[in-house]
Amino acid sequence: MKANQIFSEMKDETAAGVFQYLRDEERPVYGAALSTLATNRKLRPVFVQKKSVPDQIQWLVKNIRMNGANEVAENVLQIWLLKGKSKLLISFLDGVGIEHDGEGAAEDIPDEFDAKKLQSTVDELLKEYDAETVKIYLHMFQMQRRGGWKEISDVIEGNPDLQFSSTAAQEPAKAEA
């Protein structure tokens, strides 16, 4: 699954919340995403910037779901997770025993996970955090390695709360100007 497809599958409120977080806390990332998505649509960024903030965010959500927006979507989700959801990332990494920088970034990720430790960690995350956020994180984590990790795939397949529907992978997202 690609990052733009993750945006297509997440609730509109969550997607809007991602952009609201970026607008409030990571303005350069918000501006770069807006500018890139506008340029991808052959629009001048000022066209979008003139909209009210809620309309800007609605426009961003619609356009980040497009097939051509995967790179921007991946960057946006990575920043949102690393900066805005670092406690979740730290909890996951600590739970599965991966050393990290204390802010949720890790360099040495194992080739395999202890299935019981992974399941226990994910169960704890689901008790402490919003299930949709955990789902987004696990799917983004899987993107760090071609084909992901079998153990994480098994955990996702075993819990409907962690699954996205298969339609996002098959149908291109549509957006409006």
Distance (Å) of CA 46 to CA 15, 60, 70, 73, 175: 22, 13, 22, 20, 18
Runs of H (alpha helix) within 83-130: 86-96, 115-128
- Which of 41, 67, 83 is the last residue before a domain boundary? 83
In which band, very low, low, confident or very high, does the pLDDT at 165 lie, cut at 50, 70 and 90?
confident
| Residue type at 13 in one-letter notation | E
Q: What is the pLDDT of residues 88-110, one digit of tens each?
A: 999 999 999 998 888 877 888 89
- 53 in a structural domain: yes
- Is the pLDDT reported for residue 167 higher than 50? no
CA 114 – CA 79 distance, rounded (Å): 27
In which band, very low, low, confident or very high, does the pLDDT at 166 lie, cut at 50, 70 and 90?
low
- 177 in a structural domain: no
- 107 plus 47 within the same structural domain: no
Specify the pLDDT at position 170: 36
| Residue type at 126 in one-letter notation | L
- Asked whether the CA dihedral 108, 112, 116, 118 is positive or negative, the reply is positive
Tell me 163's DSSP state.
P
Q: Which domain holds residue 18?
A: 3-83
- Asked if residues 119 and 159 have their Cβ atoms less than 8 Å apart, the reply is no
Q: Residue 82, exposed/middle/buried by CB under 10 A (0-12, 13-18, 19+)?
A: middle
Whose structure tokens read 């297509």?
8
Q: What is the pLDDT of residues 8-35, one digit of tens each?
A: 999 999 999 999 999 999 999 999 999 9
- 23 plus 63 within the same structural domain: yes
Write down how long the chain is: 177
- 12 plus 38 within the same structural domain: yes
Q: What is the pLDDT of residues 47-102, one digit of tens each?
A: 999 999 999 999 999 999 998 999 999 999 999 999 999 999 999 999 999 988 88
